[in-house]
Structure 1
């Protein structure tokens, strides 16, 4: 499979195969809210009557995010995740429902991707300087390049009621799925309160629901590598869909030999990803799933990633460095989205 051909230089528009029929109530307006959580910023554009009490909505959103951070942050000493990582071998911990749901999805994607996505990569993340301790930007830091034990996720056990067992020497890191789940959780909370037309973004992961007051979908520009200025413009209509992107340019550092070490690690080797693929974006109704799959496909690389996306029906967009130039490829599942402008 060579992927869907992309016409060089021409603007690209991605439209979902089905658009919503329900339009916002008349006289609705756009309300814009923002805040900070999980080490990044969040933004919400909400379609609602002019009388909306904006501070109440902002408090609701912040409360959802703060609770998820309390559960799943590997930066907080008091989080449930940190408590799990410190359990003795064989110890059990009852996880909060959101944490349990994330772990179940993470385990499922780890299994289906043969470990290209791994929620138990915390030890390698620390040793390469991308965790709370031993930061790569600390004076004198040097990465620990010793081989790490791959596949710790296979030893994770749960009893089906929210209890998970620490198998020993297993350190969770949910950075590649927790933000996506947080986006889903905020959208679910807002929809439960009667808000069905909105766009929410957290640290680059986005999900759109419904339409804008003028009946237009939520148009967003797909994230591209900063150096890929020659790639054609790409706009995505997010309605009932989420998008997440994984790439080697988001965070990393040059080591003593001048090598660029990406923050995305290949769980199968325990080392930073090093191939020509620069980024992968995934479109999916579930932002947590899009988040995790973007990481898994990026770890796989272009050829393996495209084959996996084709087998599993994943709508994915790949950006590849090709010497001094760039080229892009779309998975077959994204073909129904494409409408050249």
Structure 2
């Protein structure tokens, strides 16, 4: 019998009479997005779908490191000492990501783009393209020395960001989750209170289905390490969930597995045998960023950090022929 996780507080209100189950979907951030919702009477479903796509298009225009004209890309190219005014979306993400960086002792670094590029996980010179070679130790050392003096500075009162010179932002571990949150906010602005929103496998939900059931989702497992139906299921009711795993993008580096999750403290891919970390949180931005941070910190340091802050997290560690699961107290409090 598999685990079932249910939030501690549930609003049992059903969708308003006349609501119809609808689906909206599209493409953004190099992946797909979708929303299942109970559409109230009087709400234009087609116009709502267009509004949802605009929300994600704006995030791409601001935060994509693949688009050369995005605000993030322009910041990365800017001259040393320049200040950059931030629109609300960019400010929200930068503020939260830098706070997680400070809280984790920079095990999480939203300005780790140069390191990501060096290891072939950025938009150019990728690990899966011909001619790629893993970086030499002296190249990593030189980059680490440069990065130590090039951390961005956020002026919270002025809502602007300093480019100290050489800072390379990469919001790929937080922007997708933020995109899910923006979909949720847009739905609620249009009067939709019962929905589940998803971007690239990261989800947030609220309300109920017409039959009084919550939006049930299966927690992401590790491919090849277990059957569907064995993973826990979560009632996505006022909650968000995201998973970070070493199985998504990686290459063999000698005898080791070089994962796309890099430790900004060492300049190396994580090597702590963590296969995946799943975080359940109030916002998908938090679940997204924290799942990455805990992956870098590892099963022991990460679990201690999460327990101290009441973060609901599940760790799957690669053992001899099997995955070993450990969870935090906040995760276990959701179990039914």
2:284 alignment partner in structure 1: 287
2:64 match: 73
Relative distance call for 1:159 and 1:11 in structure 2 (3 A) is closer
User: How is 1:57-136 mapped onto 2 (pairs within 5 angstroms)?
Assistant: 57-136=48-127
| Structure 2 equivalent of residue 204 of structure 1 | 201
Question: Which residue does the alignment assign to 1:193?
Answer: 190
Name the counterpart of 2:219: 222
Q: Given that residues 217 and 237 in structure 1 are in contact (C-alpha distance below 8 angstroms), is that contact kept between their aligned partners in structure 2?
A: yes
Asked if the contact 1:95/1:162 (under 8 Å) is kept, the reply is yes
Deviation at 1:200, TM superposition (A): 0.3
SS at match of 2:212: coil
**Contact kept? 1:265, 1:271, Cα under 8 Å:** yes
Q: Distance in 2 between matches of 1:230 and 1:26?
A: 39
Aligned length: 329
The aligned residue for residue 170 of structure 1 is 167
Q: Give deviations 1:288-311, integer Å, cap 9, x for gaps.
A: 011100000011110111100111
Distance 1:124 1:210 in 2: 41
Q: Distance in 2 between matches of 1:308 and 1:185?
A: 27
Q: Deviations over 1:313-338 (max 9, x none)?
A: 10101111111111211101112201
| 1:250 matches 2:241 | no
1:42 is matched with: 33
Show CA shifts across 1:200-252 (max 9, x none).
Answer: 00011100011111111110000011022169331011110000111111111
Question: Which range is displaced more, 319-328 or 228-237?
Answer: 228-237
Alpha-carbon distance in structure 1 between the residues aligned to 2:156 and 2:295:
31
Given the superposition, is the C-alpha separation of residues 230 and 220 from structure 1 closer, same or farther in structure 2, using an over 3 Å criterion?
Answer: closer
Residue matched to 2:297: 300
Instruction: Name the TM-score, length of structure 1 as normaliser.
Output: 0.92
Q: 1:11 matched to which residue of 2?
A: 2
Deviates more, 1:153-162 or 1:170-179: 153-162
8 A contact 2:64–2:72 mirrored in 1: yes
- In the superposition, the TM-score normalised over structure 2's length comes to 0.94
Q: CA deviation at 1:154?
A: 4.8
Gaps in structure 2 of 5+ consecutive residues: none
Structure 1 CA distance, aligned partners of 2:98 and 2:148?
11
| CA deviations over 1:115-140 (Å, ceiling 9, x no partner) | 11110000000010111111111111
**Comparing 150-159 and 203-212, the one that deviates more:** 150-159
Contact 1:91 1:167 (C-alpha < 8 Å) held by counterparts: yes
Q: What is the CA RMSD across the aligned residues, in angstroms?
A: 1.6
Deviation at 1:27, TM superposition (A): 3.4
Partners of 2:6 and 2:261 in 1: CA distance: 29
Is the 1:316–1:334 contact (alpha carbons within 8 Å) kept by the matching residues of 2? yes
Which residue is 1:26 aligned to? 17
Seen in structure 2, the aligned counterparts of structure 1 residues 203 and 298 have a Cα distance that, compared at 3 Å, is same
SS of the aligned residue for 2:124 comes to coil
CA contact (8 A) 1:196 1:210 kept: yes
Q: Report the counterpart of residue 322 of structure 1 in structure 2.
A: 319
Contact 1:277 1:318 in 2 (8 A): yes
Q: Which residue of 1 aligns with 2:237?
A: 239
Q: Which runs of 4+ in 1 moved over 6 A?
A: none
Partners of 2:20 and 2:219 in 1: how far apart?
A: 25
Deviations 1:23-72 (A, max 9, x none): 21123221011110010000100111477533212111110000110000
